[in-house]
Amino acid sequence: MTRRGIEIDGVSKTHWTRRGEPVEALRAVDLAVTEGEFVTLVGPSGCGKSSLLRIVAGLAAPSAGRVTIDGVTVTGPRPDVGLLFQRPTLLPWRTVRKNVLLPAEVLGLDRRLAAVRAAELLNLVGLRGFEEALPAELSGGMQGRVALARSLLQDPAILLMDEPFAALDALTREDLARELLGVWDRFRKSVLFVTHAIPEAVFLADRVAVMTSRPGHIAAIVPVDLPRPRDPSVVDTVAFGAIAAQVRALLARRAGLPPVSSSSDGRP
Ligand SMILES: Nc1ncnc2c1ncn2[C@@H]1O[C@H](COP(=O)(O)OP(=O)(O)OP(=O)(O)O)[C@@H](O)[C@H]1O
Ligand SMILES: [Mg+2]
């Protein structure tokens, strides 16, 4: 039977440095994102999160194991997978509208339909009126919104996001996390979302996958049984605090650090 969604099955990855030394980034990672599920991935810096996302995206091959999407082994980029990476990758010489339309050109989608959808998405992420602006004329948060709209243009069933809000200030980040959840509530994509911020990971997710330090391995998966749609005030509830503390303790244990009790970093 074909299961829909992402299945990561025993994926290992060894990178080779330019000096020919092996760097074992991932060791036997198993993780599934079922159809319409929102899974966040947290782990210490350098534990292989980006390596894993690139493999799921079909931008890199695993050294062992495999990734399937809807039962089909990933061997390269797919049109039903949207990507959003940490570094803003807008083309500086293209307008907002033309940046959002880029996937349509790359994938050869119907131009007229793509133009209509681009206008809808820019409206959805609060950028109506900025269609003809250049990226340099926008704030970092607005650029993040453009990238979010672009990742949704081809209406991907699956979204892979690698710390998409990391470069933004706390408030803009909360805004975008809220907006992303709004979009997700409407379209129910399957999402795999990497973040360093524990509150953000809990606020967004159905389940939080916690990785060990390199070689990265899934140490635990923490279910987030908070009702949806989620209001930002959920972060102040006891239930939220308990889940965040559990994720924090798992991360601290895996990193060999003493547990920290404060929860002041990166609220969603
Ligand atoms: N192309 C590459 N060649 C050699 N080593 C690499 C390559 N890409 C990643 N690595 C190494 O693999 C390990 C995992 O890197 P990766 O970028 O996947 O970590 P990460 O969990 O995303 O870290 P961060 O949280 O800092 O973004 C690191 O030790 C890194 O140096
Ligand atoms: Mg990374």
95 in the same domain as 206? no
List residues bridging with 162 in a β-sheet. 194
- The number of distinct structural domains making up the chain is 2
In a domain, 123, yes or no: yes
161 in the same domain as 149? no
Q: Which domain holds residue 102?
A: 88-155
163 in the same domain as 55? yes
Last residue of a domain, one of 108, 126, 155: 155
162 in the same domain as 252? yes
The rounded distance, in Å, linking the Cα atoms of 229 and 107 is 33
Does the beta carbon of 259 lie inside 6 Å of ligand 1? no
235 in the same domain as 120? no
In a domain, 242, yes or no: yes
Last residue of a domain, one of 112, 138, 155: 155
**Percentage of the chain surpassing pLDDT 70?**
93
Question: What spacing in Å lies between the alpha carbon of 24 and ligand 1's midpoint?
Answer: 9
Contact 202/247 with Cβ under 8 angstroms?
yes
pLDDT in tens, 2-50: 568 999 999 999 999 999 999 999 999 999 999 999 999 999 999 999 9
pLDDT in tens, 98-144: 999 998 998 888 999 999 999 998 988 889 999 999 999 998 888 98
pLDDT in tens, 213-235: 999 999 999 999 999 999 889 99
Contact 86/162 with Cβ under 8 angstroms?
yes
**What SS3 state is found at 90?**
coil
Question: What spacing in Å lies between the alpha carbon of 225 and ligand 1's midpoint?
Answer: 31
Last residue of a domain, one of 102, 124, 155: 155
In a domain, 24, yes or no: no
In a domain, 204, yes or no: yes
Nearest to 209 by CA among 41, 30, 4, 3: 41
Count of beta carbons in the 10 Å neighbourhood of residue 28 = 14
The rounded distance, in Å, linking the Cα atoms of 223 and 98 is 39
Question: What spacing in Å lies between the alpha carbon of 2 and ligand 2's midpoint?
Answer: 30
Does the beta carbon of 246 lie inside 6 Å of ligand 1? no
185 in the same domain as 138? no
* Ligand nearest to the CA of residue 85, numbered in listed order: 2
Phi-psi domain of 10 (left: phi exceeds 0; alpha: psi -120 through 50; beta: other): left
Count of beta carbons in the 10 Å neighbourhood of residue 237 = 12
Does the beta carbon of 45 lie inside 6 Å of ligand 1? yes
The rounded distance, in Å, linking the Cα atoms of 264 and 268 is 11
